[in-house]
Amino acid sequence: MIVSMKKAESDFTRLFFESNGIKFSSFRNWVFYPGMLFESQKKWWNEGKQRTKPHQGVDLCFYRTEVKKVDRIKPGMFVPSLFSGYVVSVVDDYLGKSLFVFSHPDLLWAYGHLDLDVDIKEGKELKEGQILGVISQNVKNGIFPHIHISIGRVIGKATQRLDWNLINEDAIIKLVDPMPYISSEYELMSSFRAEKNKK
Ligand SMILES: [Zn+2]
């Protein structure tokens, strides 16, 4: 199933592939399995067990290059900044580091599971497309290396350092589906297991 959304607002997808020496003309669309999209209730690893809270963003891991070919993001791939902005916090997550950035007057975006460059710290100004680090090398629970992206509208002010629990509070951030900001088209696969078993 192909989903079409409004025009992407960030050049993230093109910049991501070009930063990693992959011709953007060879990219067709992102590919998602159940559990990877915004507000998914289940995990896409660990046999699709229930998540502790609905997914706070999207997990980019798979993409289609040809009609019958799905490729996968590799650890160590460079990750560009989604938008210009400034870093409000950097925290550890279960695969690497997470980064929270404010852009425009009221937009928050966050990445998870990266190895960040050493100079990416709180207060750092970012330009859209600037390389922030790489996809984390850590692998746990059989989960494939991937990048998590969240986007939210800032409603209130956090009095503590932003983290994944705080951005879940409706009084501070209203999370939205990141896909319209990332790519105009993506594809939903019905079953992760079926695809894995083909290899
Ligand atoms: Zn995620």
Q: What is the CATH number of the domain that holds 84?
A: 2.70.70.10
- Centroid of ligand 1 to alpha carbon of 58 (angstroms): 5
- Centroid of ligand 1 to alpha carbon of 44 (angstroms): 9
Are residue 146 and residue 100 in the same domain, yes or no?
Answer: yes
Are residue 160 and residue 95 in the same domain, yes or no?
Answer: yes
Are residue 122 and residue 193 in the same domain, yes or no?
Answer: no
Return the bridge partners of 64, or none: 29, 70
H-only helix segments in the chain: 12-19, 179-182, 192-198
| Residue 32: per-residue pLDDT | 96
- Centroid of ligand 1 to alpha carbon of 8 (angstroms): 20
Rounded average pLDDT over 96-124 = 94
- Over the chain, what is the mean pLDDT? 89
- Centroid of ligand 1 to alpha carbon of 60 (angstroms): 8
Q: To the nearest whole percent, how much of the chain has pLDDT over 90?
A: 68
Are residue 100 and residue 57 in the same domain, yes or no?
Answer: no
| Residue 114: per-residue pLDDT | 98
Are residue 23 and residue 59 in the same domain, yes or no?
Answer: yes
- Centroid of ligand 1 to alpha carbon of 14 (angstroms): 21
What tokens were used for 157? Answer: 């002010």
- Centroid of ligand 1 to alpha carbon of 59 (angstroms): 5
The DSSP output letter for 45 is: S
Are residue 164 and residue 90 in the same domain, yes or no?
Answer: yes
Are residue 59 and residue 83 in the same domain, yes or no?
Answer: no
- Centroid of ligand 1 to alpha carbon of 148 (angstroms): 4
Are residue 105 and residue 71 in the same domain, yes or no?
Answer: no
Confidence (pTM): 0.90
